[in-house]
Amino acid sequence: MPEQTRFEELVLPHLDAGYNLARWLTRNVADAEDVVQDACVRALKYVGSLRDGDARAWFLTIVRRAFYDWCGRNRPAEIARDDGTAIDMAIDEAAIGPEQAALKSSESRLLADMVAELPLAYREVLILREFEELSYKEIARIADIPVGTVMSRLARARGLLQRSPLLHAIGGRSGGER
Amino acid sequence: MNCHEAGMLVARYTDGEVDSLQRHSIERHLRDCPACTAKHQDLLALRTQIRAEAPYYAATPALRERVRALVANAHDVAPARPRADSDRWRWLTGGAFAGCAATVLAWVLGTAVIDWRANEDVAVEAVTTHVRATLNDHLIEVASSDQHTVKPWLSARLDYSPPVHDLANEGFALRGGRLDTLDKHRVATLVYRYRQHTIDVFVRPESARAPSALRTVRGFNVAHATSQGMDWLAVSDVSPDVLTAFVERLAGADTTP
């Protein structure tokens, strides 16, 4: 099968998934389009080596890679600040950046905005889990981290969102620590 | 199990990431522990809220156009693969793709073995059919959320009458149906919408050539159920547990009208 046909049959059906990931990572339309286009260039090039495995996870891996390359060129500060290992070490609330402090005090902020403002390392695992419904193992492969790290980052991401007063107001549960 | 042990397991349980033994012990713990139950409920509530409020961004028409152009251009350029005796320029630019290639290679090695033997069965054909219909924008021939419209349309064109159920109140909205060929037979395909996902359900008289209960092909999940002489084969990119529950619900729907 020629590369173009393979690409159309295997990768194109997952264009929405790729764009959704890129859109949440870049947080704007034009950049997300650029990232996905770059990912498609790479996917076209390598689709010959893709067996009938999981084309969606394969494509998402490429989109994520393309995003980080793009980010390194255009927003290096964001990678430095939201770097996974650095973030994982910052266990203390005190060490959480100003963005998250703002996030905590956001009474009227929409949940979608809060998700968009999560540190990159948390945002990507949350998007892959909640939107693409991928397993820990698949997310670990895509994000190139151990499964244990997937779990802890998911827990941190959810913890940050749950701390919002907005969620409790809507979620309606009154008990538990704030 | 105590709360300390239950700690991380609650999240994994909520994500469907426990084995049957762990499921059993966590469920027993949750029955007696209000604190951990509250934690479980909180996680479920958060998930519901994220899915309800955070948008799933579908590819823009502009992007689709750009990708289409990309593929068309790739057609024009001769499919000459870069030769192994690459020059210095190729090495330099290739560096940018090296990380990507390594990931791909690891991926291929990991998945190739598992998917090797399962190339030519009904599940693969079903996924191919689903993809083709999606790509050609030919998902639906009779568009209706009314099972009493879809069923007669299909019955009139087949030598059997497929059961049709709208499960919109359970999140699976019937969008319509079409005819397909599967395993050399004409079959009814029901099209459902679940959140942002499309689910194709192939309904046909029970066949000896049925796939295993659950398979993954090219990133799509294929779930299968049988009941009362009929076969239900669901194809979608929704998660395996949701798809399995859905197809079993459809197969069981006829016994509890």
The answer to ipTM > 0.85 is no
Q: Both tokens of residue A162?
A: 């749950």
pLDDT at residue B84 tops 90: no
Q: B-chain residues within 8 Å CB-CB of A20?
A: 56-58
Of A10, A112, A173, the CB nearest to B42: A173
Q: What is the pLDDT of residue A134?
A: 92
Spatial distance between the Cα atoms of A21 and B236, rounded to a whole number of angstroms? 19
Nearest Cα to A39, choosing from A21, A14, A65, A5? A65
Nearest Cα to A44, choosing from B72, B83, B64, B60? B72
Q: Which residues pair with B226 in a beta bridge?
A: B231
Q: In Å, how far from its chain's centre is CA B157?
A: 27
Task: Indicate the pLDDT class of residue A4, thresholds 50, 70 and 90.
Answer: confident
pLDDT in tens, A17-64: 999 999 999 999 999 999 999 999 999 988 888 876 689 999 999 999
Of B100, B134, B217, the CB nearest to A42: B100
Spatial distance between the Cα atoms of A66 and B100, rounded to a whole number of angstroms? 8
Spatial distance between the Cα atoms of B247 and B256, rounded to a whole number of angstroms? 15
Q: In Å, how far from its chain's centre is CA B139?
A: 15
Q: A-chain residues within 8 Å CB-CB of B82?
A: none
Length of chain B: 257
User: CA gyration radius for chain A?
Assistant: 17
Query: What is the residue type of A133?
Result: E
Is A20 within 8 Å of B131 when comparing Cβ atoms?
A: no
Is A3 within 8 Å of B15 when comparing Cβ atoms?
A: no
Of B45, B63, B71, the CB nearest to A173: B45
Q: B-chain residues within 8 Å CB-CB of A59?
A: 219
Q: What is the pLDDT of residue B247?
A: 92
Spatial distance between the Cα atoms of B155 and B124, rounded to a whole number of angstroms? 26
What sign results for the dihedral spanned by CA atoms B80, B85, B89, B91? positive
Nearest Cα to B156, choosing from B193, B124, B188? B188
Nearest Cα to A20, choosing from A71, A47, A56? A56
Of A33, A50, A111, the CB nearest to B53: A111
Please give, rounded to a whole number of angstroms, the shortest distance from the CA of A144 to a CA of chain B. 9
pLDDT in tens, B129-158: 898 888 777 788 888 888 888 998 998 888
Cβ–Cβ < 8 Å for A161, A115: yes
**Average confidence score pLDDT of chain A:** 81
Residue in B closest to A167 by C-alpha:
B46
pLDDT in tens, B188-221: 999 999 988 899 999 998 876 767 777 888 888 9
Least confident range of A58-67, A160-169, B100-109: B100-109
